């Protein structure tokens, strides 16, 4: 059979960055499984590069039997457009194949998926994809967990490596860096995160051996210099982390690697071992330097754990990136200052403030809706709190219209302080500009010397 796997294009405006283009690893697993069964696979990544393949008759020309689409909430408007175009073809009798939808959006907003979509897969696709293609499923909505992650074939790197994905990692000065995802599910329940409702609390993972085999394959066939573990929490299972590092060292595999992790499951001893095995960077979900906000987010970490993790990482030459959040309900300017001061004190390699936007099905989302704390909900169901526009100007130095077409009006006390600071910054730069214009060059040079 001819099977097409595809993704949806990113919207023109989005409160989440859509500029990082990496191979879609979930679809990758399914592509490899379907190929191994002898089917003919096609792949179009509209997120990487939008195409109007449906209009151009791709489905008819290639006799596609099944179109398998990855859905996420941010890109869902484009998915809807695709669905409607495909159904249009079917109604006119131009195409007779089936539509299969999967990906995070199927778990968080099932009700938004049109009834004419033939199969909707929630959660993992590995255990069900073959039976869907074989016509063994009679029900439309399917959910079946998959335990044996080690049995998943390697990613279709032959396809992915030829496409213009980002094969770098911002914290490693090497190339090519390949992304891997080696675990699923998270036992934590951070209120702003929707991973729990997509994957559940059960944590399943590739064994250290399975990860190392794919790394060896990437080194041998694609001259991989680095691996970036782009997943929720690479180090959740410490036993696996230790085994992974020890094997890399024992097998003398010279690869640099980076991972996303939490500050609470790292000890100095473990960081030392990770560094010895080639670990070069950590992406930490730090979120805040205010214990009050960390507790409100149910992050289950302490400021002390943040300090320890960053200081130990520095000691063993591991770069740290801290992902921060601002604009959650009840946050004050003082909370922001605590975060800012913590970052100044710890000096991570880099850090970035993300402005809170509620993702459907997360507990904070439900809390915001229940207590009517939002000022706007967009077409995808994302919720925006008052002052979103002030915070985009303050944290991103951008107008909120670059992210969402909406006029925010209400202000919290925190917003008013940020507005005052923005005003002060504007005045300062205005005075600077005027002084540069009116003062003679010699004085400006002298003042610059003094200040430098
Ligand atoms: C790594 C990652 C990225 C990477 C790589 C993305 C990628 N496409 O692989 C980058 C940085 C590029 C990225 C970008 C974005 N991401 Co992201 N990302 C993740 C992360 C941490 C892991 C993704 C992953 O590899 N999962 C493992 C694989 C195995 O799972 P999977 O991709 O979901 O696929 C499985 C199933 O969903 C299913 N399936 C998927 N598609 C299909 C299709 C069919 C037909 C079938 C049958 C089954 C099926 O089967 C697959 C195998 O089991 C997740 C969090 C998470 N734990 O999932 C967030 C996550 C998926 N991202 C999210 C978001 C919002 C985005 C962005 C929209 C914005 C952003 N910058 O964050 C973009 C969109 C990119 C895109 N095209 O999808 C959200 C999605 C929420 C939602 N409700 O949709 C998540 C859940 C994180 C969160 N904030 O909650 N992301
Ligand atoms: S933010 Fe990370 S640790 Fe918290 S629930 Fe989400 S995936 Fe788990």
CATH code for the domain in which residue 287 is found: 3.20.20.70
285 lines ligand 2 (CB under 6 A): yes
Nearest CA to ligand 1 atom 68: 74
- The proportion of the chain whose per-residue pLDDT surpasses 70, expressed as a percent, equals 98
Mutate to test the pocket of ligand 2, among 185, 187, 188, 191 (most ligand atoms within 8 A of CB): 188
214 lines ligand 2 (CB under 6 A): no
Q: Separation of 26 CA from ligand 1 center, angstroms?
A: 7
Mutate to test the pocket of ligand 1, among 20, 66, 74, 160 (most ligand atoms within 8 A of CB): 74
Burial of 316 (0-12, 13-18, 19+ CB in 10 A): middle
Mutate to test the pocket of ligand 2, among 191, 195, 288 (most ligand atoms within 8 A of CB): 195
Atom of ligand 1 nearest to the CA of 231: 21
Q: Are residues 116 and 234 in the same domain?
A: no
pLDDT score of 448: 67
Q: Model pTM? A: 0.94
Nearest CA to ligand 1 atom 84: 72
Q: Are residues 301 and 182 in the same domain?
A: yes
Separation of alpha carbons 133 and 242, rounded Å: 40
Taking the mean position of all CA atoms in its chain, how far away is CA 147? 23
pLDDT > 90? residue 430: no
Does the residue 384 lie in any domain?
no
Contact partners, residue 139, CB within 8 Å, separation at least 6: none
pLDDT > 70? residue 449: no
Q: Report residue 347: phi and psi, to 5°.
A: 45, 65
Q: Separation of 251 CA from ligand 1 center, angstroms?
A: 32
Cis? peptide before 145, omega within 30° of 0:
no
Burial of 360 (0-12, 13-18, 19+ CB in 10 A): buried
Q: Separation of 260 CA from ligand 2 center, angstroms?
A: 11
pLDDT digit string, tens, across residues 313-339: 999 999 999 999 999 999 999 999 999
- Averaged over 245-269, what is the pLDDT? 97
363 lines ligand 2 (CB under 6 A): no
pLDDT > 60? residue 262: yes
> CATH number of the domain that 51 lies in?
3.40.50.2300
State the CB neighbour count (10 A cutoff) for residue 173: 11
Q: Are residues 66 and 30 in the same domain?
A: yes
Separation of alpha carbons 227 and 153, rounded Å: 18
Does the residue 273 lie in any domain?
yes
pLDDT > 80? residue 445: no
**Of 373, 299, 372, 369, nearest to 339 (Cα)?**
299
pLDDT digit string, tens, across residues 148-193: 999 999 999 999 999 999 999 999 999 999 999 999 999 999 999 9
State the CB neighbour count (10 A cutoff) for residue 290: 21
pLDDT > 80? residue 446: no
Range of the domain at 341: 167-371
Does the residue 350 lie in any domain?
yes
Does the residue 439 lie in any domain?
no
Separation of alpha carbons 229 and 240, rounded Å: 14
Atom of ligand 1 nearest to the CA of 166: 12
186 lines ligand 2 (CB under 6 A): yes
- The proportion of the chain whose per-residue pLDDT surpasses 90, expressed as a percent, equals 90
Does the residue 72 lie in any domain?
yes
Q: Are residues 268 and 350 in the same domain?
A: yes
195 lines ligand 2 (CB under 6 A): yes
pLDDT > 70? residue 450: no
pLDDT digit string, tens, across residues 263-319: 999 999 999 999 999 999 999 999 999 999 999 999 999 999 999 999 999 999 999
pLDDT digit string, tens, across residues 359-409: 988 999 999 999 999 999 999 999 999 999 999 999 999 999 999 999 999
pLDDT score of 310: 98
State the CB neighbour count (10 A cutoff) for residue 411: 15
193 lines ligand 2 (CB under 6 A): yes
Tally of domains within the chain: 2
- Averaged over 402-428, what is the pLDDT? 95
Q: Are residues 185 and 328 in the same domain?
A: yes
Does the residue 201 lie in any domain?
yes
Q: Separation of 241 CA from ligand 1 center, angstroms?
A: 23
pLDDT score of 141: 97
- Averaged over 26-40, what is the pLDDT? 97
Nearest CA to ligand 1 atom 56: 195
pLDDT score of 117: 98
Residue 147 confidence class, pLDDT cut points 50, 70, 90: confident
Contact of 125 with 29, CB cutoff 8 Å: yes
Q: Are residues 174 and 321 in the same domain?
A: yes
- Averaged over 434-439, what is the pLDDT? 82
Q: Are residues 279 and 179 in the same domain?
A: yes
Which residues are near ligand 1 (CB < 6 Å)? Answer: 7, 16-18, 20, 22, 24-27, 29-30, 47, 68-70, 72-74, 100-105, 108, 121, 124-126, 129, 181, 193-195, 198-199, 230-232, 359
> Dihedral of CA 194/199/202/207: which sign?
negative
Judged by its nearest atom, the ligand closest to the C-alpha of residue 182 is 1
pLDDT score of 447: 66
Mean pLDDT of the residues in the chain: 95
184 lines ligand 2 (CB under 6 A): no
Domain boundary among 327, 353, 371: 371
Distances (CA, A) of 365 to 11, 101, 374, 413: 21, 24, 10, 22
Q: Report residue 387: phi and psi, to 5°.
A: 85, 5
pLDDT score of 451: 57
Q: Are residues 113 and 183 in the same domain?
A: no
Domain boundary among 330, 354, 371: 371
Q: Are residues 354 and 231 in the same domain?
A: yes
């Amino acid at each position: 059979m001819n099977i097409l796997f595809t993704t949806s294009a990113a919207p023109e405006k989005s409160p989440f960055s859509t500029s990082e283009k990496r191979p879609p690893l979930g679809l990758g697993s399914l592509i490899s499984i379907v190929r191994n069964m002898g089917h003919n696979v096609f792949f179009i990544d509209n997120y990487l590069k939008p195409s109007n393949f449906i209009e151009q008759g791709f489905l008819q020309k290639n006799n596609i039997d099944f179109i398998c689409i990855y859905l996420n909430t941010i890109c869902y408007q484009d998915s809807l457009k695709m669905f409607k175009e495909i159904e249009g073809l079917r109604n006119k009798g131009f195409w007779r194949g089936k539509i299969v939808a999967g990906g995070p959006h199927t778990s968080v907003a099932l009700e938004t998926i049109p009834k004419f979509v033939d199969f909707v897969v929630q959660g993992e696709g590995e255990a069900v994809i073959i039976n869907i293609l074989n016509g063994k499923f009679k029900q439309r909505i399917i959910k079946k967990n998959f335990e044996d992650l080690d049995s998943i074939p390697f990613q279709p790197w032959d396809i992915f490596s030829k496409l213009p994905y980002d094969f770098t990692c911002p914290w490693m000065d090497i190339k090519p860096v390949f992304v891997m995802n080696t675990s699923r599910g998270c036992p934590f329940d951070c209120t702003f995160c929707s991973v729990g409702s997509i994957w559940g609390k059960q944590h399943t993972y590739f064994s250290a051996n399975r990860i190392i085999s794919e790394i060896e394959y990437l080194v041998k066939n694609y001259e991989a210099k680095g691996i970036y573990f782009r997943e929720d929490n690479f180090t959740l299972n410490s036993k696996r982390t230790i085994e992974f590092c020890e094997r890399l060292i024992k097998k003398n595999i010279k690869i640099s690697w980076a991972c996303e992790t939490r500050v609470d499951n790292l000890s100095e001893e473990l960081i030392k071992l990770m560094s010895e095995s080639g670990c070069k960077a950590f992406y930490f979900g730090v979120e805040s330097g205010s214990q009050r906000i960390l507790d409100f987010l149910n992050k289950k970490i302490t400021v002390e754990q943040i300090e320890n993790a960053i200081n130990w990482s520095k000691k063993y030459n591991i770069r740290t990136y801290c992902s921060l959040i601002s604009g959650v309900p009840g946050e004050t300017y003082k909370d922001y200052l605590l975060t800012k001061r913590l970052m100044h004190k710890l000096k991570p390699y880099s850090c970035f403030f993300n402005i809170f936007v509620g993702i459907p099905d997360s507990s904070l989302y439900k809390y915001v809706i229940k207590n009517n704390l939002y000022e706007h909900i967009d077409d995808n169901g994302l919720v925006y709190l008052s002052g979103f526009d002030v915070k985009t100007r303050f944290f991103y130095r951008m107008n909120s219209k670059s992210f969402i077409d909406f006029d925010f009006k209400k202000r919290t006390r925190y917003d008013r302080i940020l507005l005052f600071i923005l005003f002060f910054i504007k005045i300062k730069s205005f005075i600077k500009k005027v002084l540069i214009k009116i003062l003679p060059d010699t004085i400006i040079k002298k003042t610059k010397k003094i200040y430098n």
